[in-house]
């Protein structure tokens, strides 16, 4: 096994020294060994010890001045978080990561290391290396550029790495932990491997067990899949294995539900194609119906790219969550479908009802409130960009209200709407119509940026002004007046403090007249 110079040798040597002094037999196992063999950089190290793993982790945390984190009290799994210690002498070409945060996860084995590996999930993660041997090889590697390390590999994991396949260690792995059903697909996706046919059959056999997985673990696995290019391909794979509909049974209602003639696919396939088209628009992957002239028409910039890379919560950025919104954007269409006397299908209110369904799904899968709000907004407002144009370019007021109502999801919804259009037409998409949609998107983004520059640097009036000038008392009315002024300012209807006060006064008089009328 080649020893990667990138690993935190100083920290690992300290861990090995502490465990040896305390009399533990210790092995590096699982993903770290796999990634070393693949030449992948990693800062997560799984260590198996022949004793009390929690005690060992606490001793290591004290010695390295790291942070002890209890991961699983029932199975006695703990983590030590520490920064890599700087070497006294720099290694060749400065290859070691200085200052990088390292995670050492400790677990116990009771019999021997081979028995421990037999309880693991996939062969490529059922390999081990003795910790002291790994450290010794790393030291030798820096001095001699040689690093022979014996890999304990009872299930031919190294061979499967070479063949690029994900294979189950045994037929019982999914009975022990149903989260492995999702992990197998995700692992293959991240490594660009293939799930071995017999393992696929096992996943199909146990696919309904996926409902037993804690929502938090489902969320983590889904977000990692959604963060990858070719997301739609992996969602289709989840569907073929029986996992997708077990996780989100509401999606099954869209299978076979036909749409108006402008749509090329039924509701379910359209949703998957929307995810695929979105990945195309976000410059992540090709789309079989996408062309270079289509992509060239889409507004794009470094700031838009950075927007989609923003982290919404730990483990989930906008790019991943917008793809989830694309999957769910028509979730309520089957429940809202009606056919008029002329035989035309309608899906009235599917955005509003779909947002409520999306919230239920996100809550079930333990997504955070921020993640849920974003996806619900995507579903609720996905038709808004086309509606606010109404056959022409939208007004300044319409643009302002769109971004105000969408609460930070305005850019995301615009790109979802573009993907929705492409996935509606598929191979029948008209480049002329497409360019029209792209011009609308570009116009809305440009005008929104102008509005932001008008409103943000200069506040014409504030609550104190309204209280002092009109003798108002603090309350909701002041907020309403200020919102009205901001909207008019963003729309270019006023630019001075005097104009702002005049608008507030006019609105105040109308409000008082309405109040008097109601009292009378």
Q: Where are the domains of the chain?
A: 9-161, 164-247, 262-455, 463-519
**9-161 and 262-455: identical CATH topology:** no
Q: Which of the following CATH numbers is that of domain 164-247: 3.40.50.10490, 1.10.110.30, 2.30.22.10, 3.60.21.10?
A: 1.10.110.30
* Residue 141 pLDDT level (bands cut at 50, 70, 90): low
Exposed/middle/buried for residue 207 (C-beta within 10 Å: 0-12, 13-18, 19+) = buried
**Would you say 85 and 63 are in contact if contact means Cβ atoms under 8 Å apart?**
no
Give 75: exposed, middle or buried? Use CB within 10 Å, 0-12, 13-18, 19+. exposed
Over pLDDT 90: what percentage of the chain? Answer: 66
Kindly tell me if the per-residue pLDDT of 469 is higher than 90.
no
| CA neighbor of 379 nearest in space, from 405, 359, 398 | 359
Backbone torsion region of residue 93, taken as left when φ is above 0, otherwise alpha when ψ lies between -120 and 50, otherwise beta: left
Which tokens sit at 239?
Answer: 């569907």
For residue range 388-398, what is the model confidence (pLDDT) as tens digits? 876 688 998 89
Range scoring the smallest mean pLDDT among 51-55, 137-141, 250-254: 137-141
Distance of CA 442 to the CA centre of its chain: 25
Q: With cut-offs at 50, 70 and 90, classify the pLDDT of residue 84.
A: low
Structure tokens at 193: 């491997």
pLDDT in tens, 414-460: 999 999 999 999 999 999 999 999 999 999 999 999 888 876 546 77
pLDDT-based confidence at residue 89 (cuts at 50, 70, 90): very low
Q: Cα separations (Å) of 5 from 9, 118, 209, 237, 396?
A: 8, 29, 41, 36, 57
| pLDDT at residue 513, as a whole number | 56
DSSP string, 123-164: GGG--EEEHHHHHHHHHHHHHHS------B-TT-HHHHHHHT
Element (H, E) at 29: strand 26-29
Q: Rounded mean pLDDT of the chain?
A: 88
108-112, 134-138, 501-505: least confidently modelled range: 134-138
Euclidean distance between CA atoms 85 and 99, whole angstroms: 7
The answer to whether residue 510 scores a pLDDT higher than 50 is yes
Query: What's the CATH code, domain 262-455?
Result: 1.10.3210
What's the rounded Cα separation, in Å, for the pair 322 and 415?
A: 9
CA distance 185 to 463: 55
Residue 235 is inside which H or E element, if any? helix 231-240
Mention the CATH class of domain 9-161.
Answer: alpha beta
Segment 26-40 shows an average pLDDT of 91
DSSP strand pairing (77-83 vs 67-72): antiparallel
> Which run of H or of E encompasses 312?
strand 311-313
Contact 489, 518 (CB under 8 A): no
The predicted pLDDT at position 233 comes to: 97
């Amino acid at each position: 096994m080649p020893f990667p110079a990138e690993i935190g040798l100083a920290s690992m040597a300290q861990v090995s020294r502490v465990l040896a002094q305390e009399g533990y037999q210790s092995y590096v196992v699982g993903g770290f060994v796999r990634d070393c063999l693949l030449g992948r950089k990693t800062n997560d190290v799984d260590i198996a010890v022949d004793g009390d793993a929690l005690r060992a982790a606490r001793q290591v945390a004290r010695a390295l001045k790291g942070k002890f984190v209890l991961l699983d009290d029932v199975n006695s799994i703990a983590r030590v978080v520490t920064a890599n210690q700087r070497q006294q002498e720099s290694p060749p070409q400065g290859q070691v990561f200085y200052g990088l945060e390292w995670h050492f996860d400790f677990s116990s084995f009771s019999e021997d290391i081979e028995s421990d590996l037999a309880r693991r999930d996939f062969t490529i993660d059922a390999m081990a290396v003795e910790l002291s041997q790994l450290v010794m090889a790393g030291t030798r590697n820096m001095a001699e550029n040689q690093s022979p390390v014996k890999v304990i590999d009872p299930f031919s994991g190294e061979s499967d790495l070479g063949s690029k396949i994900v294979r189950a260690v045994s037929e019982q792995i999914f009975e022990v932990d149903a989260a492995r059903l999702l992990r197998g697909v995700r692992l293959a996706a991240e490594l660009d491997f293939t799930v071995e046919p017999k393992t696929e059959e096992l996943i199909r056999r146990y696919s309904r067990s996926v409902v037993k997985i804690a929502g938090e673990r489902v969320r983590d696995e889904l977000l990692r899949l959604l963060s990858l290019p070719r997301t739609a391909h992996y969602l289709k794979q989840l569907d073929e294995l029986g996992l997708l509909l077990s996780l989100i049974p509401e999606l099954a209602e869209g299978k076979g539900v036909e749409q108006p003639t402008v749509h090329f696919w039924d509701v379910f396939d359209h949703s998957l194609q929307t995810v695929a088209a979105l990945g195309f628009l976000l410059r992540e992957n090709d789309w079989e119906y996408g062309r270079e002239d289509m992509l060239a028409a889409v507004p794009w910039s470094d700031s838009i790219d950075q927007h989609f890379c923003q982290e919404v919560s730990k483990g989930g950025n906008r790019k991943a969550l917008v793809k989830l919104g694309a999957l769910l954007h028509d979730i309520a269409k089957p429940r809202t479908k009606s056919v008029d006397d002329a035989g035309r299908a309608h899906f009235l209110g599917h955005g509003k009802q779909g947002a409520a369904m999306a919230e239920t799904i996100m809550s079930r899968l333990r997504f955070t409130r921020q993640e849920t709000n974003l996806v619900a907004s995507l579903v609720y407002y996905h038709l808004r960009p086309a509606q606010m144009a109404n056959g022409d370019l939208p007004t300044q007021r319409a643009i302002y209200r769109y971004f105000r109502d969408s609460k930070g999801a305005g850019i995301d919804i615009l790109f979802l709407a573009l993907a929705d259009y492409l996935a509606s037409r598929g191979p029948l998409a008209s480049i002329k119509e497409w360019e029209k949609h792209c011009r609308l998107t570009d116009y809305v983004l440009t005008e929104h940026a102008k509005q932001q520059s008008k409103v943000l640097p200069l506040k014409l009036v504030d609550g104190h002004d309204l209280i002092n000038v009109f003798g108002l008392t603090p309350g909701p009315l002041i907020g309403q007046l200020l919102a009205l002024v901001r909207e008019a300012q963003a729309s270019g209807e006023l630019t001075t403090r005097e104009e702002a006060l005049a608008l507030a006064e006019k609105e105040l008089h109308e409000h008082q007249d309405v109040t008097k009328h109601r009292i009378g």
